[in-house]
Amino acid sequence: MKERSIIHVDMDAFYAAVEQRDNPELKGKPVIIGGPDPTKRGVVATASYEARQFGVHSAMPLREAYKRCPHGVYLPVNMHKYQQASKHIFNIFQKFTPLVENISLDEAFLDVTGSRSLFGSSKSIAREIIDQIDKEVNLAASIGISYNKFLAKLASDLDKPKGFVVVSADNFYEVVHPLPVKRVWGVGKKMEQQLRAVGLKTIGDIASASLFSLKQQFGLAGEHIYALSHGIDNRPVIPNREAKSIGRETTFSVDISDRDVLYATLMQLVEDVSFRLRNSNCWCQCVTVKIRYACFNTYNRQTTLSQQINLETEIYSEARELFDSFYDGQPVRLIGVTLSHLKAEKEKQVELFGWENEKKQALAEAADRLRTKYGKPLVVRARGIKKD
């Protein structure tokens, strides 16, 4: 049996890099994507490497980023632009292998085991991928190559930006075992503290520990990290991985208690997630609404439906009912909508007014085509327009 060749591609500071590519004046400057006004609420989506030198990182509140980097260039998220760049990049991947597992817009696993007879070694394939992304999309990527997914992903993060790291059976102990335990896939801050508390500071320490004691202390997670510390990860690359959920949330610049504004925001969120749902040729059977109050108390409510839906009107009706069922009038800091229990094909159902639903579906698809072409919604529901 051939040893697998897995490549992990991770684009470098993707959103910020796209903006720097499209505006040469931004090159070399600290670019922070998340919102044009860092004095308002928001979260950093991506920071350029120039911004990271000041301690700015993704998921950081914009206000904190502004404290650390007041001279940075702050820009809103332009998802349509990033999606177009991502589509081009993934088309390049498909030239080399059909076994492409997308993790996000800017990250993927490629199984090139069967491609080596056509394109050469995994290193040659990876070099060609980097060159084509550079020439065709004018963006940089970091590459990790190994014989399983865990090691390939770990490798791609070791020498960013523009990293190119190979972890093989020959250099596994030398490269991997000295790394800190937080590098193990699945080890978060809490588990890192627990591991350090019992004297396990490196991946090599985990590998030297007793499997019995790890399982006794951490259960299945102990067994998981023990296997990874020995370079064991048998998970296959799964192409065209279906999303488990589609969601979006927004944080208000000021706390909101006006129901009309909250309803309008809810509709805008529904329009966005339903567009993405249809764009993925999916239907959903579960709707979740999230509310975070000014005091930071966060609540989620969800409903599971008897049939599959993907139209704004249907989704908004369910989301509005959920919202009204638990909103108590307090000022709201954040509101979100998530669709789950996704299906790639709608089940056949006998509908009394099927022709009416077909008209609504056709109208929604026409609006989707306009949005896809122009990068923004041109047809919106009146419910989603906020009053002055």
CATH no. for residue 214?
Answer: 1.10.150.20
Annotation marks residue 107 as catalytic: yes
Q: What is the pLDDT of residue 2?
A: 64
Assign 137 a pLDDT band (cuts: 50, 70, 90). very high
User: Is residue 221, in this structure, part of any structural domain at all?
Assistant: yes
Can you give the pLDDT at residue 372? 54
Q: Is residue 348 part of a domain?
A: yes
19, 50, 107, 318: the catalytic one is 107
The whole-number pLDDT of residue 276 equals 85
User: Locate tokens 């997670």: which residue?
Assistant: 221
**Averaged pLDDT for residues 227-246:** 87
pLDDT, tens digit, 9 for 90 and up, residues 155-205: 999 999 999 999 999 999 999 999 999 999 888 888 999 999 999 999 999
Query: Do both 181 and 276 map to the same domain?
Result: no
The amino acid that residue 49 corresponds to is: Y
Confidence of residue 281 (pLDDT cuts 50, 70, 90): confident
Q: Per-residue pLDDT tens for 329-339?
A: 999 999 999 99
CB 186 within 8 A of CB 224: yes
Q: What is the pLDDT averaged over residues 256-282?
A: 90
Region at 147 (left for phi over 0; alpha for psi -120 to 50; beta for the rest): alpha
274 and 380 part of one domain: yes
Tally of domains within the chain: 2
Same domain, 258 and 330: yes
Q: What is the mean pLDDT of residues 99-114?
A: 93
Does some domain include residue 222?
yes
More confident residue, 250 or 54: 54
> Looking at the domain assignment, is residue 214 inside a domain?
yes
Whole-number Å distance between alpha carbons of 98 and 112: 9
Is residue 383 within 8 Å of residue 314, measured between CB atoms? no
- 38-49: b or e for each residue (b if 16 or more CB lie within 10 Å)? beebbbbbbbbe
Query: How many Cβ atoms are within 10 Å of 112's Cβ, its own excluded?
Result: 26
**CB contact at 8 A, 103 and 109:** yes
Q: Are 273 and 338 in contact (CB under 8 A)?
A: yes
Give the three-state DSSP class for 82. helix
Kindly tell me if the per-residue pLDDT of 369 is higher than 80: no
| 54 found inside a domain | no
What is the extent of the structural domain holding 185?
177-229
Domain shared by 224 and 257, yes or no = no
The token pair that represents 79 in the structure block = 């998802």
Same domain assignment for residues 214 and 323:
no
Are 33 and 64 in contact by the 8 Å Cβ rule? The answer is no
Close Cβ partners of 213 (under 8 Å, ≥ 6 residues apart): 222
Read off the pTM.
0.74
For 192-247, give the secondary structure using H, E and C.
HHHHHHCCCCEHHHHHHCCHHHHHHHHCHHHHHHHHHHCCCCCCCCCCCCCCCEEE
Task: Estimate to the nearest angstrom the gap between the alpha carbon of 175 and the chain centroid.
Answer: 28
Computed over every residue of the chain, the mean pLDDT equals 88
One-letter amino acid of 300:
N
Give the phi and the psi of residue 252 in degrees, each rounded to 5. -75, 145
Do 186 and 255 reside in the same domain of the chain?
no
Quickly state the pLDDT bin for 41 (edges 50, 70, 90). Answer: confident
User: Contact at 8 Å (CB) between 115 and 67?
Assistant: no
Mean pLDDT of 54-69: 94
pLDDT for residue 100: 94
Whether residue 29 is contained in a domain is answered as: no
Instruction: Identify whether 368 is part of a domain.
Output: yes
Residues 280, 359 within the same domain: yes
Please tell me the predicted confidence (pLDDT) of residue 42. Answer: 85
Is position 70 within any domain?
Answer: no
Give the per-residue pLDDT at 353.
Answer: 44
Question: Alpha carbon of 197 to those of 214, 244, 386: distances in Å?
Answer: 13, 35, 52
Are 369 and 314 contained in the same domain? yes
Structure tokens at 115: 């491609």
Q: Which tokens go with 213?
A: 């004691």
Higher pLDDT, 102 or 281: 102
Which CATH number belongs to the domain containing residue 345 in this structure? 3.30.1490.100
Q: Let me know whether 306 and 185 are in one domain.
A: no
Task: Tell me: do 263 and 377 sit in the same domain.
Answer: yes
pLDDT above 70: residue 298: yes
Model confidence at 344: pLDDT above 80: no
- Give mean pLDDT, residues 213-235: 93
Q: Which residues pair with 343 in a beta bridge?
A: 283
Give yes or no for residue 138 having a pLDDT over 50: yes
pLDDT of residue 51: 97
If asked whether residues 370 and 320 sit together in one domain, one would say yes
Q: Which residues pair with 143 in a beta bridge?
A: 9, 164
Over residues 76-99, the mean pLDDT reads 93
Which stretches does DSSP call E strand in the chain? 6-11, 31-33, 46-47, 73-75, 100-104, 107-111, 141-146, 164-166, 245-256, 284-293, 298-309, 332-340
252/380 same-domain check: yes
User: Which residues sit opposite 33 in a β-bridge?
Assistant: 46, 75
Above 50 in pLDDT, residue 325?
yes
Among the residue ranges 35-44, 92-101, 332-341, the one predicted with the least confidence is 35-44
